[in-house]
Amino acid sequence: MLGEPKIGKKYINPPVVEALCEVYFHQSKWDGTLPGLFFGKVRRSYPKKRESKQIGVHVSISKETQTTQLQRGEGRIQFMKEDGSRLIQIEKNLIVINQLKPYPNFEDWKPVVKQMLKHYSEIAQPKGIKRIGVRYINRIIIPKATFKMEDYFGLYPEVPESLGAMHGKFMMRLEIPPKHKGHVLMVTFGTAPPGSPGTSAEMLDIYDIFALSRPFPIGDVDKYVVEAHENIEVAFEGSITSKARELFKEEVIR
């Protein structure tokens, strides 16, 4: 395990480029009027509205053949803040709350998730929750063109001496034990395009999924979202070093 450093740290310049919470519902009502009703509840804060068509891939395998087809999914309706910093997406049995830069902090973002879930529940009247996903995508800029990974990260690829002990661009994905049991916690870490000459950038993507074999009550969402966030915090703090934290400028509470 990556370890369990102290959680609850706040940074002046957090590396978060996107945080999202997705909630998959069980048996919600849905028709063409519901997006309009939802918009009526959020239009003051989210005045921009648009529809996004979702494309999926369906693979069919038989003894003789394998076929792949692109399938058009449910239309997803998006509501956006005027400055583009936050996005609410809804479709049948799903709501996604996307927080882009600037990311505030979890205590400010959590009530937004709760309020949007309340709006969806009042309109679509789902019978329960099937799955919750919380995801944080971090872009960490290192002010050097080359550097030792272990100086900034506790999680990094290692190349044996027989292969030169060096590496270039990389991508690694791990499932790690979460702080709170019952969740699935995945960490994707890899090279990102640098922001400017003389710098390097790495993407640290941490995704927590909570699901039960049976739908669970909507009232339990708060608990599992908090657990998911704590799992992600532990993974994040365990994946970086104090030298990386200096880049984000930890807030000092007096």
- Taking residues 66-84, report their average pLDDT: 74
Query: Do the beta carbons of residue 187 and residue 206 sit within 8 Å?
Result: yes
71 falls within a domain: no
Burial status of residue 163 (CB atoms within 10 A of its CB: 0-12, 13-18, 19 or more): exposed
Closest among 228, 233, 241 to 156, alpha carbons compared: 241
Cα 237 to Cα 11: distance, rounded to the nearest angstrom:
12
**pTM summary value:** 0.86
- Residue 65 included in any domain: no
In angstroms, the CA 184 to CA 228 distance is 9
Residue 115 falls within a domain, yes or no? Answer: yes
97 or 60, which is more confident: 97
- For the chain, the average pLDDT equals 87
In this prediction, residue 221 carries a pLDDT of 93
Overall number of domains in the chain: 1
The distance in angstroms from the start CA to the end CA of the chain is 32
Q: So what's the pLDDT on residue 180?
A: 96
Confidence of residue 226 (pLDDT cuts 50, 70, 90): very high
Instruction: Establish if 211 belongs to a structural domain.
Output: yes
pLDDT at residue number 45: 95
49 confidence band (pLDDT: 50, 70, 90): very high
Domain assignment of residue 140, yes or no: yes
Burial label for 26, CB within 10 Å (0-12, 13-18, 19+), is middle
In a domain, 69, yes or no: no
Q: Is the pLDDT of residue 85 over 50?
A: yes
- The reply to whether 183 falls in a domain is yes
87: containing domain? 16-48+76-248
Q: Is the pLDDT of residue 9 over 70?
A: yes
Dmax (CA) for the chain in angstroms is: 69
Q: Is the pLDDT of residue 75 over 80?
A: no
List the one residue out of 83, 192, 89 whose CA is nearest residue 142.
192
235: left (phi over 0), alpha (psi -120 to 50) or beta: alpha
Least confident of 28-32, 70-74, 181-185: 70-74
pLDDT of residue 167: 67
